[in-house]
Chains A and B, each alone.
Chain A
Amino acid sequence: MKDMNNRPNLPEEIGFGKLTLWSSWRGSMKAGAAWMFVVYLSDIPGAWLLDHHQDWPLILRILIALVPLAASLLYVRGIAQWIRGMDELHRRVTLAAFLFGTTLYLVFNTGWPLLVRAGLFTALNLTRWHLDQMPFFNCTFTICLTYIFSGLGYSLINRRYQ
């Protein structure tokens, strides 16, 4: 999915490698951000609906539960197409960054409950901020954290080529 002028896609277009909070809208949309917004908009309301309408038909409840997951997969597909439009150096760095981000998320996802079970947050009195109740089942949380970790990975890996 390259630009009309045949310029390769750049990770900076979605804020990777920059310390800016808001990256370009157009760049983010090219990378499938529309599906990311669908995830954000369907995830928390969907959870609320499932909690407050337990009498709804099972098939409807399953559909509501799976909408954020389906949108997440479409977002990943958009990211993959966007990466295909990069030049070879940026493709290599970005793929390594996403691998870094995904691995770090898995470590975080696995390690955090173990620390909760060990009683770390209770001992440090951090349970008042609900740090022992991280929403790992939440698609929005998963996407945001993986994105942040991948951005961190990009900054670390890309330094080698600057």
Chain B
Amino acid sequence: MKNKLRELRAAREWSQSDLADKLGVSRQTVNAIETGRYDPSLPLAFKIARLFKMPIEGIFEE
């Protein structure tokens, strides 16, 4: 699954650690999601969407 997490994070000048702290996950998890190696659960996807104030489908796509 592709996603725009890296672009969204870079636009806000957040590091992976910053984003990880905001989401309550580890930096490795943020990196794995950004590189497409791990698809987040629905609750985490909702959390990401809320953080960036976007719909889930605006961040994640097949």
Contact = CB atoms under 8 A, between A and B. Distances in A.
Secondary structure type dominating chain A contacts: loop
Interface string A123-134: 000000000000
Contact of A10 (B26, B32, B41, B44): B26
Secondary structure type dominating chain B contacts: loop
Interface string A119-162: 00000000000000000000000000000000000000000111
B40 A161 contact: no
A1 to B, nearest CB: 14
A162 B40 contact: no
Contacts of A24: none
Nearest to B32: A161
A8 interface: yes
B8 interface: no
A87 B33 CA distance: 13
B26 A90 contact: yes
A8 B25 contact: yes
A6 interface: yes
Nearest to A162: B28
5 contacts: A87-B26, A89-B25, A89-B26, A90-B29, A160-B37
Given A8-B25, A10-B26, A87-B24, 16 more contacts: A6-B24, A8-B24, A87-B25, A87-B29, A88-B25, A88-B41, A88-B44, A89-B26, A89-B29, A89-B38, A90-B26, A90-B29, A160-B37, A161-B28, A161-B32, A162-B32
Interface of A: 6-8, 10, 87-90, 160-162
